[in-house]
Amino acid sequence: MSKVRVHNLFISLDGFAAGDHVTFDEPIGGARALFGRFDGRVIGGVHNVDEPVTVDRALFSMWGQGIGAEIMGRKKFGPQTGEWPDDGWQGWWEDEPPFRTPVFIMTHYEREPIEFANGTVFHFVNGSAREVLEQAKAAAGGLDIRLGGGPSSVRQFLADDLVDFLHLATVPVTLGTGVRLWDDLAGLEDRFSIESISTESGLVHQLWNRQSSGS
Amino acid sequence: MSKVRVHNLFISLDGFAAGDHVTFDEPIGGARALFGRFDGRVIGGVHNVDEPVTVDRALFSMWGQGIGAEIMGRKKFGPQTGEWPDDGWQGWWEDEPPFRTPVFIMTHYEREPIEFANGTVFHFVNGSAREVLEQAKAAAGGLDIRLGGGPSSVRQFLADDLVDFLHLATVPVTLGTGVRLWDDLAGLEDRFSIESISTESGLVHQLWNRQSSGS
């Protein structure tokens, strides 16, 4: 059964999982401190860096395992709002987006897909979380769906009870402002089993697994 | 640079990492209690089971990442000793050995390789740890080498300072007898940085990373 998984979602002590304003210069909206302990080079495997294999890296490396499609919010693709300008923008990743699968970008403004040689295809889709998930599942060939963020998309999928697995890492920083993850999700823990561990870097990792219905 | 990695090595509280006597009925020589918390189904990725993604499973799943060849001791392949009998034995895994790479089996008794459709090729090689490692590196296409155990092989590679990474899990059981991992390795910790975490299952995972020369 195809699961919906969130990986490597970082949150500050004060509950923010992105900055307020995404710009071309600040892809993560001024929330850089969230990513200071993240090693994005290992999302395809711990062997991709000549660095110690830490528990942090091991957990980060689950990102690509058995994933057949990604869903992301529009701001993870680019800082534009409203109608898409004719600016040639193809995302933050230039010619090598790391996804290598179909990617469904949630937007009210549909447009033609963008296809890359490495298997990444950006689809721009308008619809509810559930509708977009159906499209992603159809494209994923029976594999899992990664919900790639940002926090607003994750919150929406959590509210609709569509998330099967969530790897969250609490970063020992305070941001003061940004996009909150937990708003309007009171009692969310009742639907999940939750394992927490701390690592030497100061991160606290939580693995949230949705409880099977009836259990 | 190609690393030598050990994954999912389980050890009892009293220091045993395998049982005394490997037989056809007891592939791990009566040390079954070591593997009670192991989920071998996730060695290729946490998506391979419809079970919660735990820290244990995340760590187990590193097994296949970026591996181009495996080295194993003879007893991991089969219980025979001395000259190979003409018994048609192809290892414990029948037609689907999980390795999918060249595998170098250390033995004093060389024989013809055994090849499987899924990419696994068993080579039977006679030589020192260092010599066998050279053969494995040549076959690994620049990827890492997994040292697959058992404990005697791991101990030999550790003694020769050939191990770059070791994922060891201490299991809260006492076996009383078996094959020891740590004999004659006093001071081993000086060559490694070591991270330890405990998980809800009762396992204590340690990630040993060899310190770069000069550091």
**A–B interface: beta-carbon pairs under 8 A:** 85
What is the structure's pLDDT at A212? 77
Per residue in B15-44, pLDDT tens? 999 998 888 888 777 789 999 999 999 999
When pLDDT is averaged across residues A70-92 and rounded to a whole number, the result is 94
> How close is the nearest chain A Cα to the Cα of B58, in Å?
6
What b/e sequence results for A145-159 when a residue is b if at least 16 CB atoms lie within 10 Å of its CB, and e otherwise? bbbbbbbbbbbbbbe
Pick from B55, B65, B199: which is nearest to A46 by CB? B65
User: Is the model's pLDDT at A64 over the cut of 90?
Assistant: yes
What is the structure's pLDDT at B214? 46
Q: Where are the domains of chain A?
A: 4-83+96-210
CA-nearest of A136, A133, A5 to A66 is A5
Query: Which residues of chain A does B167 touch, with a Cβ-Cβ cutoff of 8 Å?
Result: 53
Per residue in A172-207, pLDDT tens? 999 999 999 999 999 999 999 999 999 999 999 999
ipTM: 0.94
Q: 3-state SS of A128-177?
A: CHHHHHHHHHHHCCCCEEEECCCHHHHHHHHHCCCCCEEEEEEECCCCCC
Interface test with A, best of B144, B145, B167, B195 (most A CBs within 10 A): B195
> Which DSSP helix (H) or strand (E) runs through A67?
strand A67-73
Per residue in B41-81, pLDDT tens? 999 999 999 999 999 999 999 999 999 999 999 999 999 99
CB contact under 8 Å between A66 and B52, yes or no, is no
Query: Which residues of chain B does A144 touch, with a Cβ-Cβ cutoff of 8 Å?
Result: 47
What is the structure's pLDDT at A24? 83
Instruction: Copy the structure tokens of residue A97.
Output: 């987006």
Per residue in A143-180, pLDDT tens? 999 999 999 999 999 999 999 999 999 999 999 999 99
Phi, then psi, of B135 in degrees rounded to 5: -65, -45
Phi-psi group of A45: left, alpha or beta (phi > 0 → left; psi -120 to 50 → alpha; rest → beta): left
> How close is the nearest chain B Cα to the Cα of A15, in Å?
23
Query: Which residues of chain A does B55 touch, with a Cβ-Cβ cutoff of 8 Å?
Result: 55, 59, 195, 197, 205, 207
Is the bond into B150 cis (omega within 30 degrees of 0)? yes
Instruction: Copy the structure tokens of residue B50.
Output: 């419809």
For domain B4-81+142-210, is the CATH number 3.40.430.10?
Answer: yes
A74 — pLDDT class (breaks 50, 70, 90): very high
Specify the range with the lowest mean pLDDT, choosing from A111-115, A185-189, B24-28, B93-97.
B24-28
Please name the residues in contact with A188: beta carbons below 8 A apart, sequence gap of 6 or more.
A158, A182
Residue type, position A41, single letter: R
What is the structure's pLDDT at A1? 78
In this prediction the pTM is 0.95
Output B136-140 pairs: Cβ under 8 A, ≥24 positions apart.
B136/B69, B136/B70, B136/B71, B136/B102, B136/B104, B137/B2, B137/B69, B139/B68, B139/B69, B139/B101, B139/B102, B139/B104, B140/B2, B140/B67, B140/B68, B140/B69, B140/B101, B140/B102
Query: Chain B: residue nearest A47 by CA?
Result: B66
Provide the percentage of residues in chain A whose pLDDT is more than 90.
Answer: 90
Phi, then psi, of A35 in degrees rounded to 5: -105, 10
> Which DSSP helix (H) or strand (E) runs through B157?
helix B151-159
What is the structure's pLDDT at A215? 42
Residue type, position B147, single letter: L
Q: What class has domain A4-83+96-210? A: alpha beta
Helix axes A151-159, A129-139, angle to 10 degrees: 100
When pLDDT is averaged across residues A116-135 and rounded to a whole number, the result is 97
* Distinct helix (H) and strand (E) counts, chain A: 4, 11
What is the structure's pLDDT at B167? 98
Whether the CB of A204 is below 8 Å from some CB of chain B: the reply is: no
Mean residue pLDDT across chain A: 95
